[in-house]
Amino acid sequence: MTLVDSHCHLDNADFDSDRDDVIRRAVDAGVTRMVGIGTGEGPPDLEAGLRLASAHPEFYATVGVHPHDAAKATAEVLKQLSGLVGDPKVVAVGEIGLDYHYDFSPRDAQKAAFADQLAIARESGKLIVIHTREAWDDTFDLLDRYWKSHGIGGIMHCFSGGRAEARRALDMGFHLSFGGMVTFPKAEELREVAREVPLDRMLIETDAPYLAPVPKRGKRNEPAFLPYTTAKLAELRGVQVEEIAAATTSNWETLCLRPLRSNG
């Protein structure tokens, strides 16, 4: 059984003492590919994911400015991002979007940085990886205006919405990525979505070091814990775990390893 962790932050300082061991444990657990999210600690450093991808053959990368850091998305930063997105190991621009829970950057700055990065992704033909928290309406509004018509696709990272948000995202062509939250006792609405989403639109992730699944909840999350989330999804859908593993791996390969789409 092979798995793809479609979203992890192994650049995080929590892994500084044992990063190589963490990667080895992931591979031993069947997680043969991982996507290092390139937002890191924010601009001017946009290469957190690419450093992992350069050092470890198991890794691919994204590049992007997280909504928390949107106020730092200057013209120079966006120019830097445009240069990095063409790297062959970069599969997407992300994680980008809106976060109205923390509001670490002003909302107008978040919207502007989101729209600017959607333009960069469109021009490069790359996917987008969306972070949205307490901002569904504005997220969908910007996607409607700047993304939907281009048909490139994308990933709703660590999907946490309900059926209505899932339907809107699927109708726009997005894949939904499920993380450890689907195992949390109070996440029944999310489990309902996981039961119903088309299998060919499902991905899995850890978001390591965050959101470790039950029975590892409260610990530092790592890609080797991905089988717990996979097993929960299989249980919810009444199928063998191998079916979830095979489908989500195939989905990621089709979505992220396809040739770049032409711009237009």
Answer whether 223's CB lies under 8 Å from 193's CB: no
What distance in Å separates the CA atoms of residue 262 and residue 126, rounded to the nearest whole number? 10
What would the two tokens of residue 219 be?
């610990």
What pLDDT does residue 263 have? 42
What pLDDT does residue 29 have? 98
% of the chain with per-residue pLDDT over 70? 98
What pLDDT does residue 22 have? 98
Helix (H, G, I), strand (E, B) or coil at 191: helix
User: How many Å is the Cα radius of gyration of the chain?
Assistant: 17
What pLDDT does residue 45 have? 96
pLDDT, tens digit, 9 for 90 and up, residues 8-41: 999 999 999 999 999 999 999 999 999 999 999 9
* 3-256: in CATH 3.40.50.460: no
Could you tell me which residues come within 8 angstroms of residue 81 by beta carbon, excluding any fewer than 6 positions away? 46, 63, 64, 65, 93, 117, 120
DSSP string over 60-84? EEEE---GGGGGG--HHHHHHHHHH
259 confidence band (pLDDT: 50, 70, 90): low
Continuous H helices in 200-240 = 226-237
Does residue 248 carry a pLDDT above 80?
Answer: yes
User: 154-156 and 31-36: which strand pairing?
Assistant: unpaired
Place of tokens 């119903």: 196
pLDDT, tens digit, 9 for 90 and up, residues 70-117: 999 999 999 999 999 999 999 999 999 999 999 999 999 999 999 999
The residue extents of the domains of the chain are 3-256
Q: Residue range 150-167: average pLDDT?
A: 96
User: 127-133 and 90-99: which strand pairing?
Assistant: parallel
Q: Hey, how many other C-beta atoms are within 10 angstroms of the C-beta on 97?
A: 28
Q: Residue range 207-231: average pLDDT?
A: 98
- Taking every pair of C-alpha atoms in the chain, what is the biggest distance, in angstroms? 50
Q: Residue range 207-236: average pLDDT?
A: 98
pLDDT, tens digit, 9 for 90 and up, residues 121-152: 999 999 999 999 999 999 999 999 999 998 89
pLDDT, tens digit, 9 for 90 and up, residues 180-195: 999 999 999 999 999 9
- Between the CA of residue 235 and those of 104, 121, 195, what are the distances in Å? 37, 36, 9
What distance in Å separates the CA atoms of residue 256 and residue 238, rounded to the nearest whole number? 27
Q: What value does the mean pLDDT of the chain take?
A: 96
- Range list of β-strands (E), the chain: 3-8, 31-36, 59-63, 90-99, 127-133, 154-156, 174-178, 202-204
% of the chain with per-residue pLDDT over 90? 96
What pLDDT does residue 206 have? 98
Q: Residue range 194-216: average pLDDT?
A: 98
49 confidence band (pLDDT: 50, 70, 90): very high
Q: Residue range 197-222: average pLDDT?
A: 98
What would the two tokens of residue 42 be?
């924010």
Helix (H, G, I), strand (E, B) or coil at 98: strand
